[in-house]
Amino acid sequence: MKSKKTLYLKLFLSTFYLSAFTFGGGFVIIPLMRKKFVGDLHWIEEDDIINLITIAQSSPGAVAVNASILLGYRIGKIPGALISVLGTILPPFLILTVISFFTENMFCEVYHNINNDCRNSSLHSLHQCANDNIVTK
């Protein structure tokens, strides 16, 4: 049982690390996944990763998440798929949470003013259009 726990921990940390430090979308992470899981860890073969990436690209959804699910399932069945997808989606979730926490109040007044200006402009345009139609008819 200890080896399963270390496998799952290594799977989580590997996908977490790849997701946290990869910028540019799902297609950027694919060569890094290949290097990590085929070259470094030797968990799967080259042919297997090519098949997994092909299926991930043809499935709906984010390529990195799809590849992570398939890779995790191949390595550790259902728990492996869940752990690897958690490792893949957790870093962007945490980064966006921190960013939104700090910028929530920073842009609130600016957004409020822009929203009011747009609403007033739209209402003025609608009112002007209605007046033009009533006056001309």
Euclidean distance between CA atoms 75 and 79, whole angstroms: 9
pTM summary value: 0.71
Same domain, 48 and 89: yes
The string of pLDDT tens digits covering residues 91-123 is 999 998 888 777 766 666 666 677 677 666 666
Same domain, 75 and 130: no
Task: Report the Cα–Cα distance between both ends of the chain, in Å, rounded.
Answer: 83
Same domain, 47 and 7: yes
**Residue 65 structural domain:** 2-102
Identify whether the C-beta of residue 87 lies closer than 8 Å to the C-beta of residue 12. yes
How many structural domains compose the chain? Answer: 2
Compute the radius of gyration of the chain from its Cα atoms: 24
- pLDDT greater than 70 at residue 133: no
Residue 65 identity (one-letter amino acid): V
